[in-house]
């Protein structure tokens, strides 16, 4: 699968625990990398494919919760499964509010960890697919001429061809030509689909109040 191969990154200062998780993951065919601390992890490059972190809450030096905050601040949306031997409610709430997939207290069942990892990888896979689709959509929008973009904005705002023509000072027949071309370039099969694309691109025509 190349770049699409999933990876699990285990960050824990307990080498026996790291080894046990890696062995467990190998039994289900999941590749894993292990790190003894947050700094060791930060020095490494993240895998290209779907990724999930199995992260100890408390470690010497920087904690797992600090790493979670840093990843959120850097907009690096990596699914996290927290592991701890001593959980408390505030800690759990903080982790889950930060977007953690699961918060497991040692000892836990192997299947609970595997289920959480599968959920994390599925979330990351969906996020990557969404990002890829949005990037492709932006590329298609970038192929539009400035006039085609004007027509698109008018059309998705609900303006009729003759209204768009009047708005931007061209003939209605020219608007129709631009409309056909932009629909083809955007690969939109209908006006509702084009409107959804505009929503994803976060572009809308700001119309005067009494238009």
Cβ count within 10 A of residue 59: 19
pLDDT, tens digit (0-9, with 9 covering 90-100), for 25-59: 999 999 999 999 999 998 888 888 899 999 998 88
Rounded CA gap, 154 and 206, in Å? 9
Torsion angle in degrees (nearest 10) through CA of 193, 197, 203, 205: -10
Q: Is the pLDDT of residue 111 over 60?
A: yes
Residue 87 has a pLDDT of: 66
Q: Where are the alpha helices (DSSP H) in 28-62?
A: 38-42
Average pLDDT value over all residues in the chain: 88
pLDDT, tens digit (0-9, with 9 covering 90-100), for 50-59: 999 999 988 8
Q: Residue 207: which pLDDT band, with cuts at 50, 70 and 90?
A: very low
pTM of the model: 0.75
Question: What average pLDDT does range 75-83 have in this prediction?
Answer: 88
pLDDT, tens digit (0-9, with 9 covering 90-100), for 90-108: 777 777 777 888 889 888 8
Per DSSP bridges, beta strands 102-105 and 51-56 are unpaired
**What's the token pair of residue 200?**
């994803």
Question: Which is more confidently placed, 48 or 178?
Answer: 178
């Amino acid at each position: 699968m190349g770049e699409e191969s999933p990876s699990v990154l285990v960050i824990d200062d307990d080498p026996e625990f790291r080894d046990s998780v890696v062995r467990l993951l190998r039994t289900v065919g999941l590749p894993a990398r292990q790190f003894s601390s947050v700094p060791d992890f930060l020095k490494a490059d993240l895998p290209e494919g779907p990724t999930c972190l199995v992260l100890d809450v408390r470690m010497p030096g920087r904690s797992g919760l600090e790493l979670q905050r840093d990843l959120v601040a850097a907009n690096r949306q990596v699914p996290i499964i927290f592991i701890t031997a001593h959980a408390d409610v505030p800690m759990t709430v903080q982790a889950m509010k930060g977007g953690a997939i699961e918060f497991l207290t040692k000892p836990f069942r192997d299947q609970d960890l595997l289920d959480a990892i599968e959920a994390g990888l599925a979330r990351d896979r969906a996020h990557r697919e969404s990002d890829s689709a949005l990037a492709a959509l932006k590329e298609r929008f970038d192929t539009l001429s400035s006039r085609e973009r004007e027509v698109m904005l008018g059309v998705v705002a609900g303006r009729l061809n003759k209204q768009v023509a009047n708005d931007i000072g061209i003939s209605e027949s020219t608007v129709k030509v631009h409309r056909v071309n932009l629909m083809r370039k955007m690969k939109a099969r209908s006006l509702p689909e084009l409107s959804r694309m505009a929503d994803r691109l976060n572009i809308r025509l700001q119309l005067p109040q009494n238009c």
